[in-house]
């Protein structure tokens, strides 16, 4: 499921519970490509979709943009 508000909350909770740094921008918007991490984006040709679901945001540390692959922890 893709939902910005829920995914942002899930990532914040995950980082807090695990004691991890919160690398992703608090609003979810990538400063490099301008897309929101937590939106599903279908790329040209429909071959590939990127984005971070609520489930993923709540279960792994987000360290970069899923759309443009820009790292936030360099």
Please state the domain extents for the chain.
4-22+30-57
Maximum distance among all Cα pairs of the chain, rounded to whole angstroms: 40
pLDDT in single tens digits along all 74 residues of the chain:
999 999 999 999 999 999 999 999 999 999 999 999 999 999 888 778 999 999 999 999 999 999 999 999 87
56 phi and psi angles, rounded to 5 deg: -65, -40
Q: Which helix (H) or strand (E) holds 50?
A: strand 49-50
pTM of the model: 0.89
Do the Cβ atoms of 61 and 54 come closer than 8 Å? no
* pLDDT score recorded for residue 37: 93
CA distance 2 to 25: 17
Q: What is the pLDDT of residue 53?
A: 97
Alpha helices, H only, the chain? 4-18, 54-57
């Amino acid at each position: 499921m893709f939902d910005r508000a829920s995914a942002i909350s899930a990532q914040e909770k995950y980082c807090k519970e695990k004691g991890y740094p919160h690398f992703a921008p608090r609003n979810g918007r990538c400063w490099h490509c301008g897309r929101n991490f937590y939106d599903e984006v279908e790329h040209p040709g429909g071959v590939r979709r990127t984005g971070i679901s609520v489930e993923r945001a709540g279960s792994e540390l987000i360290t970069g943009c899923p759309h443009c692959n820009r790292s936030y922890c360099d």
